[in-house]
Amino acid sequence: MRVDGVFIRGRGFFLSVPSQSVRGGCEPMDGMMEQTKTGTSTVGVTFNGGVVVGADHRATMGHFVANKSVQKLFRIADNIALTTAGLVGHAQALSRSLAAELALFELKRGTQMSVKGAATLTANILGGRPHWVQLLIAGVDDEGAHVYSIDSAGGSIPDVYCATGSGSPYMYGVLEDKFREGMNRDEAVEVVARALLASAQRDAASGNGMDVCVITPKDGYQLVPQEELEALFKRL
């Protein structure tokens, strides 16, 4: 039986997650999403030698901007970044769990987990207990640069670029137009910045600045300085 978006089977409750809620531009469902912080634009782009990952800062509760400086881009290993769209509480708990799991793996094995391994681990966690999130796992390993999109039920899809959150439709327009194989680091940073700017201009649940990082085999996880981003914005 289904009651207003909630599936009820026997004595247990099974939530039916609207696709818009998963992406981060969430509408309240039977009061469960009321007073929860959501709304997001995140993006990951591969380039020749690494990956660039970015996220905005805004969190919303319905039509209210609840916070202008939420962290949605996380370093979970020196070679892997996580971005989060959806409920802030679920996202923060997942980022802590994944960082701990990857650190433990490295201590036990003496080597970093592959990006595919991290994506599979994340998908298994979500498959066992669905969260109100959509994630990007992006990074580099011995096989190159990778971006994985992972939905709330644990579905994992690799691609050369990906966007999540309520601003993703606007970012995909930029990505489809500007992305090309074999880009260098600066070109990939510009594509990510353009995509996040597009979402901030059109999506009410995204904005208030951005965090961008570059991950390469040589330098690992490196945040792009805000000064570099501001100089880039003046040229766009």
The catalytic residue positions are 40
CB 132, CB 149: distance < 8 Å: no
CA distance 63 to 193: 25
In the sheet where 133-141 sits, what is the strand order? 73-77, 80-86, 133-141, 144-150, 156-159
Query: 62 burial class (0-12, 13-18, 19+ CB within 10 angstroms)?
Result: middle
Please list the residues that pair with 223 across neighbouring strands: 213
Tokens in use for 218? 């040589």
Compute how many other C-beta atoms are within 10 angstroms of the C-beta atom of residue 231. Answer: 10
Residue 4's region, left for phi above 0, alpha for psi from -120 to 50, else beta, is left
Query: 151-184 burial, b if ≥16 CB within 10 A, otherwise e?
Result: bbebebeeebbbbbbbbbebbbebbeebbeeebe
